[in-house]
Amino acid sequence: MIGKLTMENYILKKEKEYIRKRKKEGSSIKEGCRLMGIKGSTLYYQPKGNLDKKIKETNIKKKIEDISQEHPYYGYRRITAQLRRDKVIVNHKKVLKMMKE
């Protein structure tokens, strides 16, 4: 499934490049999208950068693992309390979800 999505993204990227190239030659974007069979909004779509969020979650997960190793009998409530004492503000539901992973 992942390989298929990667291939589709690659094809879509090439289609976008082709349409932009044709625009420089004088063709319209609307016409290029029609020829490629894609919607115009696809051409302008830019994915959100969730890199900061992923880094923050990774740091929280590491801290949870550290606390769990130091205190193996702690549940998600005690770990949440320990994180708050360490000045890491995180919801108890998020801690529970990360511990299940």
H helix intervals, 1-101 = 2-24, 29-36, 40-44, 51-70, 76-85, 92-100
Domain span including residue 15: 2-44
Single out the residue of 10, 98, 6 nearest to residue 54, CA to CA. Answer: 98
* 40 and 56 belong to one structural domain: no
pTM: 0.52
* 96 and 78 belong to one structural domain: yes
Tens of pLDDT along 41-84? 777 777 776 777 888 888 999 999 999 999 999 999 999 999 99
Number of structural domains the chain divides into = 2
* 60 and 24 belong to one structural domain: no
* 71 and 33 belong to one structural domain: no
Backbone Cα Rg of the chain: 23
Reported as a pLDDT band with limits 50, 70 and 90, residue 10 is low
Query: Is the distance from CB of 78 to CB of 71 less than 8 angstroms?
Result: yes
Q: pLDDT exceeding 90 applies to what percent of the chain?
A: 32
In whole angstroms, what is the distance from residue 75 CA to residue 82 CA?
11
Query: Which helix (H) or strand (E) segment is 47 a member of?
Result: none
* 55 and 96 belong to one structural domain: yes
